[in-house]
A and B are shown apart, each in its own frame.
Chain A
Amino acid sequence: MPAHDVLIIGAGLAGQRAALAAARAGATVAIMSKVHPVRSHSNAAAGGINAALNPDDSWESHAFDTVKGSDYLGDQDAIEIMCREAPNEVLWLEHAGVTFHRNAEGKLGTRAFGGASAARTYYIADITGQALLHVLYEQMMKHHEQIDRYEEWFITGLLQDDAGNCTGAVARNIRDGSMEIFAAKSTILASGGAGQCFKPTTNALICTGDGIAQAFRIGAPLMDMEMIQYHPTTLAGNGILITEGARGEGAHLYNAKGERFMEKYAPNKMELASRDVVSRAEQTEINEGRGFPDGTVALDITKVPRKRTLEALREIVNIGRDFAGVDITREPIHIRPGCHYIMGGVKSDVWGATPITGLYAAGEVACVSVHGGNRLGANSLLDTLIFGRRAGEHAAERAGHMTMPTPSRAALNDQAREIEQIMQRSGGRRVSEIRDELGTMMNEKVAVFRDEQGLTEAHEVVRRLKEEAKTATIDDRGTVFNQDVLGALELGYMLDVAECIVVAALERKESRGAQFRTDYPKRNDEEWLKHIDLSRNGDDVPKVSYSPVTITKWEPQERVY
């Protein structure tokens, strides 16, 4: 049985940063992912990473922008930590080898981003996430003696001892189907978001909410689950992302009548208002018949000098050409709001610790909550790195004071039996069918605009799909790279997560951040300036409770851009 001080599940930016921090603190570390680390979805974060590093900028300004962006649902103690520590984190990355864009003097250069009062986004062309991910992986290769990498291993469940402490995980080696128990003093979930609950989505196929559901299943509460960010600029049909960097560089939005409609919705910040604001504006234009026939509006990047576009937005020039057949330097591209990010997740504190002793969460899987009702662009990379590092440090520190747990093999046997049983099923619906129905339905009823009726229907559908999933069938009965059986397990995770999203969205009877209820169109601080927490309640509907929002120095104000 492999045993490590710190076991990290997920190897995107949060996981890799946690691994490097834990190893540096002297812990033995295992990092595990269902894909090779450089395939992780952190790749997709194109635009950049925020930090108040310029002498004329301040962390307070960054923190206020984040608080305001969150529609005052973010916990301000956590936001302060993130924004204070951001400059040093960016410098750490630079020293580790990240090829950040430089200004003419050879110093780090910035670009503007949505919802920010200063240009404080550091970037590498428009492959920032990819460049960070690959440089962290360079560092993981460098520290290969301290960090054991388990690449292409799939977690089937977290382990708990009799006292309820997390003691590691059970995993299946995707290459040969073998199962193994991984004992760990501390376990860090860094397995990313759950965008695949929606279809289309900007999220990769691997973003199936595994960690959120795994934590939920062993009793960890989830928080802010109703807060799903719709990104303002995604391609219709396949949901591929056009970075906010485009608007940061000066691109404009137009409706089908050629009106620059953001003038009506955010006269000051225009296209660079918060994402929830811009997405709602677009959806309103489309719903009121001022969109294009394919249900889109236009993003016009020809406003940006061509040279600049080719230098700084290289990747979306490619995306426009390859995935929409459009030369974005010459003509506008049709876009629409698309599911992009889940602000909610496993409730965790400023060290990543969850209420389950020994279990940590960092990155998109977690909810600290620094994003509250709406995440600012270029704050997600920052979140993964700051809280990944903090979780790694804290988990290693904790491991230093305890003995290695010795989990029993019972859980492994149960989970092996469950997999065996999935492979034996016949006669049910195909897993892929249920998954498609779920995603399409969520994108219809739990999207930019929501109401009681739609959400109630959504909940009924999710409950039905949960039943159907119990008998859903697959084709592959093999052991080597049986992606089919993993798809069935992922479907189970997605359904758990989807139910929590719907239940929380039904619960919050106000409009705040990404949650817009047409039946409760106003923000209601008196009743709803609080987090919604959900915990597992057997097979029944998740149990709802509330927790207060931490406010340090920024009292809620009206939010205008």
Chain B
Amino acid sequence: MPEYTLRIRRYSPESGEAAHFEDFNIELDGHRSVLDGILQAKDRQDGSIGIRCSCRAAICGSCGVRINGKPNLACHTHLDKAYETAVDGVIVVEPMGNMPVLKDLIVDMDSVHWKKIHRVTPWLLPEGEPPEREYIVPPESMIDITQTMACIQCGACVSDCLSMEVDPLFIGPAALAKAYRFVGDPRDGQHAERLRDLAEDEHGIYDCTHCFNCIEACPKGVAPMSQIMRLRRIAGSDHGIDDRNNGHRHEMAFVKNIEKNGLLHEADLLPDSYGGKFHPRAVPELVSSLPVILRALQRGKVTPGKALLHPHKAPKEVKRIFRDIHDREERYELNLYVVGEEDEPESGESVAQADAAGGHLPAERSPNQ
């Protein structure tokens, strides 16, 4: 039976000792989980090791920890896999981040995670009385939100959210994924109100910096960041809600710019992002950007002639791509990843599908791939 060393971060508020690491040698097959390892140490060596755990099958969400610095469920990480990423052959197990530690590997999820979940009004708010039988809804929409229902509230995404590290008030990946579960639910009657609320909160959907950590961390393929991006797109495109960071208009300006010029014409990009050169909102932004513009002129990055009369026009191929996209009726917003493919997908095919599902996003972590 192979031996592994687990280096567990210990902390007991009663002992008066500072947090420290303690090594435990365990004997288990490599395909057994880190949780099995911790439980063996607890059973045989030190029953005081604190870890929440229950199902051992990655469905209850209790045993979120950091293994070799990365958040995951202890029951969902094989010992041999953990050993591969271990420095000096020692598997390091620590409590999750962004939440206060209560004891050893146990963190206070109530004061952070659950408080944020509460923040998004996490219950269905249907319009009017329910129908006599079930609500009739498109089958895809239920599959779509089932991806966020797959969230087990383990906190792994919260643990490594970079935005939350900087802004502890950020509503965060898990709670915003929960919000998408209602915004994507055709039975909910408060989509606009929910979106406005989450968009206007300065710690809301526009506080995400797109770092992908939560997608990496999630053991259930919920892809919280993709849900946040969906919330943004639905807010901007379907409800005309202003993006606090102007990101949506910037994106639109970018697209328009390329469609027109084929190549990026930077001199137009900034004013267009604020509604055009003569838009009142653009004036202060342009003024505040003057030093940058001047420096660019000085260094020859832009010339006044080029800035005013952009010579490049989009070639036919670019126009065709844009026409193709505009002609598509459907906007691919659904979490289609729970829809299986017919058979072995070629790698190109699966990329195309992920692309369709996530718009401009890279392929989400999916059990299908």
Contact = CB atoms under 8 A, between A and B. Distances in A.
A138 B62 CA distance: 18
B134 to A, nearest CB: 5
A99 B124 CA distance: 11
A480 B153 contact: no
A39 B145 contact: no
A44 B57 contact: yes
B103 interface: yes
Contacts of A138: 122-124
B62 A39 contact: yes
Nearest to A312: B340
Contacts of B291: none
B60 A430 contact: no
A480 B102 contact: yes
A2 B136 CA distance: 44
B139 interface: yes
B126 interface: yes
Interface stretch (A60-68, A111-119, A124-132, A497-505): A124-132
Interface string A163-191: 00000000000010000000000000000
Contacts of B109: 36
Contacts of A131: 146, 149
Interface in A283-331: 306-311, 314-315, 317-319, 321-323, 325
Nearest to B117: A141
A481 B343 contact: no
Contacts of A142: 123
B135 A94 contact: yes
B26 to A, nearest CB: 14
Nearest to A142: B123
A310 B48 CA distance: 41
Nearest to A35: B54
Interface string B329-344: 0000000001111110
29 contacts: A35-B54, A35-B60, A39-B60, A43-B59, A91-B133, A97-B187, A99-B142, A101-B143, A102-B139, A102-B142, A106-B138, A107-B136, A127-B59, A127-B146, A131-B149, A141-B117, A175-B102, A204-B56, A205-B54, A206-B54, A238-B32, A307-B343, A314-B367, A430-B44, A431-B47, A474-B47, A480-B13, A480-B103, A482-B48
User: Which 7 pairs show the lowest CB-CB distances between chains A and B?
Assistant: A310-B340, A97-B124, A476-B48, A432-B43, A475-B47, A484-B47, A102-B139
B312 interface: no
A440 interface: no
B173 to A, nearest CB: 17
A104, A436, A483, A484 interface centre (most CB from chain B within 10 Å): A483
A480 B12 contact: yes
Nearest to B187: A97
B242 interface: no
Contacts of B104: 481
A321 B185 contact: no
B130 interface: yes
A441 B144 CA distance: 45
Given A95-B130, A138-B123, A478-B12, A102 B54 contact: no
B103 A484 contact: no
A105, A107, A309, A319 interface centre (most CB from chain B within 10 Å): A107
Contacts of A474: 47
Nearest to A175: B102
Given A41-B54, A306-B341, A480-B14, A97 B59 contact: no
A309 B59 contact: no
Interface string B20-53: 0000000000011000100000111011101011
Contact of A310 (B43, B117, B130, B368): B368
A141 B143 CA distance: 24
Contact of B106 (A105, A476, A481): A481
A551 interface: no
Given A95-B126, A141-B123, A130 B59 contact: yes
B271 interface: no
B137 interface: yes
B150 interface: yes
A386 interface: no
Interface of A: 35-36, 38-41, 43-44, 91, 94-97, 99-109, 124-125, 127, 130-131, 134, 138-139, 141-142, 151, 175, 204-206, 238, 240-241, 306-311, 314-315, 317-319, 321-323, 325, 430-433, 436, 474-476, 478-484, 487
Nearest to A143: B123
Given A205-B54, A432-B43, A306 B340 contact: yes
Given A43-B55, A94-B134, A310-B368, A432 B185 contact: no
Nearest to B59: A43
Nearest to B137: A106
A479 B343 CA distance: 55
A279 B329 CA distance: 51
A44 B152 CA distance: 12
Contacts of B126: 95
A280 to B, nearest CB: 25
Nearest to A134: B149
Contacts of B146: 99, 124-125, 127, 131
Contacts of B340: 306-311
Contacts of B62: 35-36, 39
B320 interface: no
Contacts of B244: none
B78, B110, B122 interface centre (most CB from chain A within 10 Å): B122
Contacts of A478: 12, 14-15, 48
A308 to B, nearest CB: 7
B319 interface: no
Contact of A204 (B55, B134, B339): B55
Interface string B172-190: 0000000001000101000
Contacts of A107: 133-134, 136
A534 B231 CA distance: 56
Contacts of A480: 12-14, 102-103
Given A175-B102, A241-B57, A317-B367, A311 B338 contact: yes
A100 B141 CA distance: 11
Contacts of B341: 306-307, 310
Interface string B108-137: 011000000110001110100010011111
A99 B185 contact: yes
Contact of A318 (B50, B134, B142, B367): B367
B76 interface: yes
Contacts of B61: 38-39
A351 to B, nearest CB: 26
B47 A306 contact: no
Nearest to A205: B54
B103 to A, nearest CB: 5
A39 B130 CA distance: 29
A234 to B, nearest CB: 11
B58 interface: yes
B55 A139 contact: no
B123 A43 contact: no
B152 A38 contact: yes
B342 A306 contact: yes
A310, A317, A319 interface centre (most CB from chain B within 10 Å): A310
B102 A44 contact: no
B187 A38 contact: no
A164 B245 CA distance: 65
A430 B40 CA distance: 13
A108 to B, nearest CB: 5
Contacts of A35: 52, 54, 60, 62
Contacts of A475: 46-48
A56 B258 CA distance: 58
A131 B181 CA distance: 12
A376 to B, nearest CB: 22
B56 to A, nearest CB: 7
A469 to B, nearest CB: 15
